[in-house]
Amino acid sequence: MKSINPETLKSGYFGRFGGRFVPEVLDVKLAELAAEFEKAMTDPEFIKEYKYYLKYYVGRPSPLYYAERLSKAVGSKIYLKREDLNHTGAHKINNCLGQILLAKRMGAKEIIAETGAGQHGVATATVAALVGLPCKIFMGSRDVERQKLNVQRMSLLGAEIVKTDLGTASLKDAVDAALGYYIENPTAFYLLGSAVGPHPYPSIIHFFQSVIGTEARQQIMEQEGKLPDSIFACIGGGSNAIGLFSGFLEDKDVEIFAAEGGGDGLSLGRTASTLVMGRPAVFQGTFSYCLLDENDQPIPAYSIASGLDYPGVGPEHANLKETGRVSYHCITDDEAIHAFKELSRLEGIIPAIESAHAVALAMKLLKDKNVVSIVNLSGRGDKDVEREMENE
């Protein structure tokens, strides 16, 4: 795992982005969380327990798989970081496991979380069951319909599903509802799912998801004897992406690409491509990029992928965009659906529609390049198989 830059840990900022813009009742609670996280990061017993569960409960390390038939079709050598093989079927469990151990350390009595695609909700319900804490999962009613399988899984695991009809009834609205509950119930532990929100959450998620990049770096060196030429991940809030990217940010010869949920294309109101179409603003407790109207008010996002259907993005990604270290691209619904089907047909691996955005970007940019690349396959696609995606 990658330690957090001490200056970021102290200030809560990545360059000019980040911070904590919340009511005083939450500011006190989040300051307490930041202090406890700093202690846990350097506590050998905490790290030992976290690594134990990663290995024996989650099933890490996840494999780095050479996708031979996909590589042949594209004309470039593509490896898949198989986060879809984790317990619960996505990268989300890495962060949830770390945060539930923090919650236990802090004496939490209730866990709350938001979810879009449902993978974070499933992972949160899973770890809450693991330690025996009650759990509420906030979810937009639109996403409840789009992700019925994951809703059933959360219920089976003992979580209470709290639906919201606010706004577009998607991920942004689930976050709003969860934050509202947290303000009214500050004794709860908010297990945030992505690298967004007020300090210290972006640093916490970076730390717990960095296991992806640490493993991928070691694995590609073992298999190729060198670092990759490029790496790819999908991005909504940005947790799976920052997890992979963290292992390679200092390697200037490794190009880094992120695929945003482009929806119908570069048209405000029909896209979730925040870093391509958005502007800096304070949104949901942090200063980062956001999709805004002409009056600088947040506007609804749209993507076929519930996990990418979010008008904001993590502050670390905003900084990586402005410094030019990462290149962010819009991938449309149609491009993602095509990649979803191609990977299933060519490799026998059904990806989450979120992950299919990263596959699509790799297929587009690596055509006949004959280079070595890693694509983060952040989740599996069981939840998307029954959807009539072309008609949404």
**What does each of the 392 residues of the chain score in pLDDT, given as a tens digit?**
777 888 898 899 999 999 999 999 899 999 999 999 999 999 999 999 999 999 999 999 999 999 999 999 999 999 999 999 999 999 999 999 999 999 999 999 999 999 988 999 999 999 999 999 999 999 999 999 988 999 999 999 999 999 999 888 888 899 999 999 999 998 899 999 999 999 999 999 999 999 999 999 999 999 999 999 999 999 999 999 999 999 999 999 999 999 999 999 988 889 999 999 999 999 999 999 999 999 999 999 999 999 999 999 999 999 999 999 999 999 999 999 999 999 999 999 999 999 999 999 999 999 999 999 999 999 999 999 887 665 44
Closest by CA to 259, choosing from 242, 236, 279, is: 236
55 vs 17: CA distance, rounded Å: 34
106 vs 174: CA distance, rounded Å: 25
DSSP state of 77: E
* pLDDT at position 390: 59
Catalytic residue among 83, 114, 316, 354: 114
Active site residue 92: yes
Q: Where in the chain is the domain with CATH 3.40.50.1100?
A: 14-55+92-202, 59-89+209-391
31 vs 47: CA distance, rounded Å: 21
DSSP SS3 for 72: helix
* pLDDT at position 325: 98
* pLDDT at position 392: 45
Supply the DSSP string of 118-162, one letter for each residue: SHHHHHHHHHHHHHT--EEEEEEHHHHHHTHHHHHHHHHTTPEEE
* C-alpha distances in Å from residue 194, one per residue of 135, 190, 224, 314, 329: 18, 12, 31, 8, 19
Catalytic residue among 81, 92, 136, 383: 92
Catalytic residue among 239, 354, 378, 383: 378
Q: How many CA atoms lie within 13 A of 34 on its CB side?
A: 21
248 vs 261: CA distance, rounded Å: 23
14-55+92-202 adopts what CATH topology? Rossmann fold (3.40.50)
Q: Which residues of 195-207 are buried (b: 16+ CB within 10 A; e: fewer)?
A: bbbbbbbbbbbbb
* pLDDT at position 168: 87
Cβ(329)–Cβ(260) under 8 Å? yes
Cβ(277)–Cβ(290) under 8 Å? no
380 vs 117: CA distance, rounded Å: 11
182 vs 332: CA distance, rounded Å: 34
Q: Residue 370: count other Cβ atoms within 10 Å of its Cβ.
A: 11
Active site residue 378: yes
Which conformational region is residue 137 in: left (phi greater than 0), alpha (psi within -120 to 50 degrees), or beta?
Answer: beta
289 vs 134: CA distance, rounded Å: 34
**CB-based burial label for 303 (10 Å; 0-12, 13-18, 19+):** buried
Closest by CA to 280, choosing from 8, 55, 2, 19, is: 19
Active site residue 306: no
Q: Locate all alpha helices (DSSP H) within the chain, ordered by sequence.
A: 6-11, 24-41, 44-53, 68-74, 92-105, 119-131, 141-146, 148-156, 171-184, 201-224, 239-245, 274-277, 315-323, 333-347, 353-365
Cβ(228)–Cβ(79) under 8 Å? yes
CATH 2.102.10.10 matches 59-89+209-391 = no
For residue 195, what are the contacts with CB-CB under 8 A and spacing of at least 6?
201, 202, 205, 206, 209, 237, 238, 239, 242, 314, 316, 317
DSSP state of 312: B
**CB-based burial label for 277 (10 Å; 0-12, 13-18, 19+):** buried
